[in-house]
Chains A and B, each alone.
Chain A
Amino acid sequence: MKDNTRPMLEARELVKHFGGKRTLWARTPVVHAVNGVSLSVQRGETFAIVGESGCGKSTLGRLLLRLIESSAGQVIYDGLDITHLGREAMRGLRREMQIIFQDPYASLNPGMTVGQLIGEPITLHRLAGRGERDERVAHLLRTVGLQPDYATRYPHEFSGGQRQRIGIARALAGEPRLVVGDEPVSALDVSVQAQVVNLLEELKTGFDLTLIVIAHDLAVIRHMSDRVAVMYLGEIVELAHVDDLFDTPLHPYTQALLWAIPARHPRHRRNRPALSGDLPNPTQPPTGCRFHPRCPHARPSCATVRPSTEQLADGRQVACHFWREIQHAGGSAPLAAAPSAKLSQRLDIYRARQQQASAAALDAQAGIASIDVA
């Protein structure tokens, strides 16, 4: 019996610097991509890491899986410190820790068939013999909503959404316990994105997975995750349960991020006091609080003293000197538009119809005569 209270994955004061290499004339500048990040991901939860481009969220995701080596700090996987684990031991663990990439066009080898792509982890980890492997591939394809006979085709024959499904099937092939999705749906069209989001949720339950989702789309994060870590310039500025974070954002950066989400209905347009300035150069991060040059609430001490991460009730964390004072200073939750009566009614009809249609399609696939419900 496994200890279910032990976190699935933990990061302790993780640091990653890039650059600083000596060239002929000088040193390349050091980029502080991840700067002292601590977090723990509980078994079975969906943990989201959100932030804007350049905040270090993808680097953090790769550090957590040890796809790149950290400059300092520790990664603990299921109670085991894997920070300096040897190659051979790490290879055994890789099966349990998988990643789904953003770009389904770039992440699949174009020279391999879908069957080979999905079968590779099975062979590599010696999970099944040749005969059984094909069976598993067929089963995995069905699991992600693709036809088993796609196994003989090549990636270029598929649309973006289908390729992402192939990538997911490949990630599942090693029977993982932890899956990191690095912007898994952001390259997809809205309608396809919804399909993949639903699929990921089904698989998470069906396969008992722990999911780490790295994303910039706040609506997707609100929909999918249990807890959220907000990153800014390599640091976690706030970490909270998803509803707490969206209902009462505490850190001024979280507040700005939520405030910037576009309206859900034309009636909810509002003039936004936009966040001024851009993300600072990561080779020269600001002193003190890294957010202070853009923060509407910054005070002199913010420029000199780095805020410590304060632990609040419910495992909530915030790293801001003045979060208590600015809680009600205008950075409010985004306006959620309730759909109009007509839209809700039609969405209900649409969903009912579609469920009926897909049930019929499944029956047909299984060779059962579809029942005429009309």
Chain B
Amino acid sequence: MLPTTPDVVLDVRNFSLRFSASEGMPNLVDNLSLTVARGQTLCVVGESGCGKSVTSMALMGLLPPAARIVSGSARFEDKDLFTCGERALADVRGNRMSMIFQEPMTSLNPAFTVGEQIAEGIRRHRGVSKEAARTGALEMLRRVRIPAPEKRLDAYPHQLSGGMRQRVMIAMALANRPSLLIADEPTTALDVTIQAEVLSLIRALQQETGTAMILITHDLGVVAEVADYVAVMYAGRVVEYGPVDAIYDDPQHPYTIGLMGAIPSIGKRAGRLATISGSVPAPEHMPAGCRFAPRCPFSEARCVETAPPDKIVEGEHRVSCWRAPIEMLEMPIERHADMQAGMGVAQHVDKHLGSAA
């Protein structure tokens, strides 16, 4: 159950980012706002190039030098992550806020044992003795359900399998009981059986600790497994946001609808997949109005000219589209009578669009 007055852990407002080489070019991330509350998981979902990873890097203060935050704030506990400075960030990172990356092999240091790497974070932020840190590391390995943790403490990353390495990453990230965990495609590199294990582990640990989580993914299956809230990103903007059930039951944005239709069903084959024509625009060719307009089968003049404002669908569910909900716009006004006469919208569309189907 969601708390009625959720205590917000992270509050990002109007965040925009661009690469400094690209003066006069559109923002790579444009006016993004999101919040995540204690014990909850926000899934940021989108395809490559939508700005989801660069957003997490900005929050962690790990942006490449060429990237520049144009506007916005990110309130985390008592600080603004965008302005608090490197020294303050270093105290927060790996302590109050930590991150898990997609590829555990490149995020772990091959020259140190797993135990040393987990203990390092504990010593840096808690100032405890070497022995106490090692005990803490052992405890973490146990909590991420690594078999024979005493043995693994002295193992090097290359001696572990992909799934085990990702568990070590999770152990490192949670060692100091952070209030916020950012996970960037944590299971993408893993096989499906290992992914299932890691996802259920993440869920269980989150229930134990109450850590808030932002999980970045392109996989709607992962979203269905772990999300409380979902932000759908397209080309640097959040196009739809809402509680997970609302996104799956009542998707509003044509992009969200297209994505859902593009995934093959795991049940009996249900005809051709829906597709989204074209591909994500390159940053230098960002459309002026709605960024999805060139690929959207519903776009019209105003979509191309002006970016749509956020509309509230219901409660916390928001969509940024001129034409949502699409079924209303498919109906010329004089045809409302048909609808009231009990004709479904799908048949109605067939009838009035000619025999498109």
Interface range for A: 35 or more
Query: Do residues B248 and A274 form an inter-chain contact, with CB atoms below 8 A?
Result: no
Once bound together, how far apart are the Cα atoms of A259 and B220, in whole Å?
17
Provide the B12-56 mask, 1 if CB < 8 A to any CB of A, else 0: 000000000000000000000000000000000001100000000
Closest Cβ of chain B: how far from A146's Cβ, in Å? 12
- Contact B200–A261 (Cβ < 8 Å): no
Interchain CB contact under 8 A, A352 and B257: no
Chain A contacts for B344, CB-based, 8 A: 345
Residues from chain A with a CB closer than 8 A to the CB of B248 are 265-266, 340, 343
Q: Is A370 an interface residue (CB 8 A)?
A: no
Contact A347 B257 (CB under 8 A): yes
Query: Does A348 make an interface contact (CB < 8 A)?
Result: yes
Interface set, chain B 320-357, CB cutoff 8 A to A: 325-327, 330, 344-346, 349-350, 353-354, 356-357
Q: Which of B244, B268, B325 contacts A243 (CB 8 A)?
A: B268
| Set of chain B residues within 8 Å of A342, measured between Cβ atoms | 249-251
Q: Is the CB of B326 within 8 A of A261?
A: no
Taking CB atoms, residues of chain B closer than 8 Å to A260 are 192-193, 195-196
Task: Answer yes or no: B259 CB below 8 A from chain A CBs.
Answer: yes
Is the C-beta of A18 less than 8 angstroms from some C-beta in chain B? no
Cβ contacts under 8 Å, A257 to chain B? 192-193
Q: Is the interface of A mostly helix, strand, loop or mixed?
A: helix
Q: Which of A340-359 contact B (CB under 8 A)?
A: 340, 342-343, 345-359
Q: Are B266 and A343 in contact (CB under 8 A)?
A: no
Contact in complex: B298, A246 (CB < 8 Å): no
Q: Tell me, yes or no, whether A195 is within 8 Å of chain B by CB.
A: yes
Known interface pairs A191-B275, A219-B264, A343-B260; A350-B326 also in contact (CB < 8 Å): yes
Partner of A266, one of B227, B272, B298: B227
A190 at the interface (CB under 8 A from B): yes
Q: Mark A190-230, 1 if CB is under 8 A from B, else 0.
A: 11111101100100000000000000101110111000000
In the complex, identify which listed stretch (B62-70, B73-81, B120-128, B276-284) lies at the interface while the others stay far away. Answer: B276-284
Given A264-B265, A346-B327, 16 more A-B residue pairs with CB atoms under 8 Å apart are A159-B279, A161-B279, A195-B275, A197-B264, A264-B221, A266-B224, A266-B245, A269-B225, A272-B200, A335-B266, A336-B268, A343-B248, A352-B356, A353-B356, A355-B356, A355-B357
The 9 closest A-B pairs by CB, nearest first: A336-B267, A262-B221, A223-B264, A194-B262, A191-B276, A260-B196, A348-B346, A189-B47, A353-B297
Q: Interface of A with B (CB < 8 Å)? A: 52-53, 159-162, 189-195, 197-198, 201, 216, 218-220, 222-224, 243, 246, 256-257, 259-269, 271-272, 274-275, 278-279, 334-336, 338-340, 342-343, 345-359, 373
